[in-house]
Chain A
């Protein structure tokens, strides 16, 4: 498809939530252009505002500031030439597959007879011939998303937005659906002029797109505009392909900074508070052990994703945690285990907890939390109090996630205890003052 002029233009889009002192910038100064004939992806970690941006682009949500231009004209309300395919399919469970497609046509005022032929034709094209009368609950995830695609195609959108359409599917269905999407797109059988795909899966982005817009979070912004000039069909094992994946990982994983930069400041202090990556500690331990077994304790991040069978979003969070805790160093898309990380990987369960405890006590967010707790009479605080304080730095949802993560880490390190029924957080006896005061009970496995 020939590129001829811009279809969509975003000018300094900002999305700010909240008001007064507690404002949170979800998207900052996003400016981009989407040309006709282009398949672009918005690629970035969870929470970087991809979905919000898609809603702004389609007009479902007006931005706080900035302008959306469609074919050179400012967009007002919902864009009638655009549509979205949703991650969770968004099919009406009480309508059959055919009715789900038809209803989109009905809303456009297509007469009944034409509606039926068009719906059947579309279902046939996505390979759902024979399932017209099935209800969504009878279909698998992959088939449901095919209905989602058929419905989106039905309105013949010029701009097709895909909001993580493959994330809720199993690996094989996702792979086959990706292929089918590419077939429809490169074959030119659909009137779509441009596709914008939001994803957190790096390989998916490199596999499908002509251009990758890499976004980062806190605040959500575009940090890289990468052209992909590989011909379709692309081979995942092709060195050029791997090189591109590596580059994106490199940008997203970043480089390990000096410690004070890496750790940020405590909440309430000037400077940015470093958010704790939301991870499962067992996964982190697994990653450390895996790296420990590698030659030179070093690995290519993009290769890790394949070996460990985790998605890129999750892997990046784990790597961030390892970096933040000082267990590993990141440089040029590689991760290297530090001596400390090596010790951690080889230590006993109990010793790991102690190492973990010393490390997290250095984090400004933890220092702040522990000193707040120590300052109270009973060495305890209510969840809500801490959350309110955290909301000065993070938006509500993120503050909750931060506190959740902090409690999880604190519990693992035996620094904190939390009673869920009273929602009270308190210091473990001896916790927060100095570790190692706890006796190892005889029946506990060292």
Chain B
């Protein structure tokens, strides 16, 4: 039986019924939003960033700057994920709040409100610093969540006997991390890092140029270059920018991710060797390099060994079976009580700000949310319409899938946002204008999740079942009904959850765009958010974002959760 080749292994959001944790999270978010907006109001009125040069020769420099930002954000994400994972995996009570928090955070457009909150930094830091930091944190918010999930899930699914072996042999913290936790999580962490980088590219444009009311902030970088090119309507510059972006993504894929994947093959848990392990020419080249061998043997390894020995020497936790400490719980309660007063006051202020919004605006938000919902549904249906036949065709044919897999992967990590301007040019003339075009724009960003998962599902259909359906001479329709559709169902649901989330996120950019100095917008909650940000209408921004968060959370919990459970229980082939 062929190994199911999962193209993208993204940590699944843990879908559970609503808990008190969710309520805490949503209240907390509302409060944070409010505080951010309040602080944002105190930022200086006019900030002019550097001019963005559109000459192609600046591109290498810009790419370097953007890569630097992405890297910084990625390290931040790793740090966050480690801390998050340990905290959530160790403490039951922390887990109850942290998991819903991450679940919500990864399905809402943080882009809509974070710039405002982050610019409050400019009240304390010099403006260039504040802007740079804001940008990095913005990219971080598009990278961190799934890595956090992946690490948490790995920590909680470590095989029991390996955990016990580590304990009985008295591994200290470091040895446990190095020998057990990190290797066990490695493959999942790498796949999720790849997905995170794709997410980072998606938001790069928005993270390098953003305006709040009259205040316009920009940073030199590839994202800003693309944005500026779109603003000026320069097709030539857009082409150069896109070229640089594609080159960067392909290079990273070939020189970083493929080799990492090939290397990480050693961390599979399975006790049989995989029939077709991932390979990478660059990895093979590195392995065969004499100079590299010499360097690692003479410098790298001895140095590493010294550090390792030193870390191994710290005391082992001989007493692992300590009883839970009562004192800690007590401290928590006191802290909670102390924190609750300002919290209540903050929530009161939040509600007060929401109260400032006139009634008809609320109606507009409700209507916008509904219309965006319809668009998301339409985008999903269109995406399903082409990805199911295409995905099954690719997945059923191993040769085709081996050939297309790398290409599809690169295509998917191309940020749809960068393609928006070109697409806009094409679709704005169509009947319906942006109203219909927004659906296409959403589609562009989300269809890949579906395609990947369906390919994976189709390639995981056991060969015996294919033979059986051949032998039974099932008609084409019967074959789809009794074999293919049920087999890809769980994968399709997984893909659709990711695609749906992506579509909601994309609504902010899809329903409200600027091109060639003009602003195009249509009705929708995304447009409302973008508009409110642009106009500095903070009560509206707060209300619309909260409405979006609630809608997404409710849909996830009440719609996707059921389908997901059905898929897991009935149609899982493993």
What residues of chain A have their CB less than 8 Å away from a CB belonging to chain B?
A: 55, 58-62, 76-78, 80, 82-84, 86, 88-90, 92-95, 103-104, 106-109, 112, 135-138, 151, 155, 421
Contacts and interface: CB of A to CB of B under 8 A. Distances in A.
Contact of B170 (A80, A86, A90, A136): A80
A227 to B, nearest CB: 29
Contacts of A60: 164, 167-168, 320-321
Contact of B165 (A77, A82, A86, A138): A86
A213 B171 CA distance: 32
A165 to B, nearest CB: 12
A134 to B, nearest CB: 12
Nearest to B265: A94
Main secondary structure, interface of A, reads loop
B161 A92 contact: no
Contacts of A112: 305, 309
B268 interface: yes
Given A60-B168, A86-B161, A93-B271, A80 B321 contact: no
A83 B316 CA distance: 16
A107 B271 contact: no
A86 B271 contact: no
B319 A92 contact: no
Interface residues of B, number: 36
Contact of B267 (A55, A83, A90, A94): A94
B162 A84 contact: no
Contacts of A95: 179
Interface in B269-323: 269-273, 305, 309, 312-313, 316, 318-323
B346 interface: no
A84 B168 contact: yes
Contacts of B313: 109
A95 B164 CA distance: 17
A94 B168 contact: no
A103 B169 contact: yes
Q: Which 10 A-B pairs have the closest CB atoms?
A: A77-B319, A90-B161, A90-B165, A94-B183, A104-B169, A137-B271, A62-B321, A107-B171, A107-B170, A86-B161
Contacts of A62: 321, 323
Contacts of A94: 183, 266-267
A93 B165 contact: no
B175 interface: yes
Nearest to B316: A107
16 contacts: A60-B320, A62-B321, A76-B319, A80-B170, A83-B169, A86-B161, A89-B161, A92-B183, A94-B183, A94-B266, A106-B312, A107-B172, A136-B271, A137-B270, A137-B271, A151-B169
Contacts of B162: 90, 92
Contact of B164 (A55, A80, A93, A103): A55
A93 B321 contact: no
A135 to B, nearest CB: 7
Given A77-B318, A93-B268, A94-B267, A108 B170 contact: yes
Identify the interface centre among B169, B270, B312, B318: most chain A CB within 10 Å of its CB. B169
Contacts of A84: 164-165, 168
Contacts of B183: 92, 94
Contact of A78 (B167, B175, B272): B167
B569 A88 contact: no
Contacts of B466: none
Contacts of B164: 55, 60, 84, 86, 90
Identify the interface centre among A90, A95, A108, A112: most chain B CB within 10 Å of its CB. A90
Contacts of A106: 175, 312
A58 B318 CA distance: 12
B547 interface: no
A157 B1 CA distance: 43
B504 to A, nearest CB: 31
Contact of A88 (B161, B320, B321): B161
Contact of A83 (B168, B180, B268, B320): B168
B168 A92 contact: no
B570 interface: yes
B569 A421 contact: yes
Identify the interface centre among A92, A135, A138: most chain B CB within 10 Å of its CB. A92
A155 B165 CA distance: 12
B271 A77 contact: no
Contacts of B165: 84, 86, 90
A335 to B, nearest CB: 36
B161 A103 contact: no
Identify the interface centre among A62, A77, A151: most chain B CB within 10 Å of its CB. A77
A86 B162 CA distance: 9
Nearest to B321: A62
A152 to B, nearest CB: 9
Nearest to B161: A90
Contacts of B320: 60, 77-78
Contacts of B175: 103, 106-107
B170 A92 contact: no
A344 B66 CA distance: 79
Nearest to B272: A137
A1 to B, nearest CB: 24
A86 B159 CA distance: 12
B179 A103 contact: yes
Given A92-B162, A93-B269, A104-B169, 4 more contacts: A77-B321, A86-B165, A103-B175, A112-B309
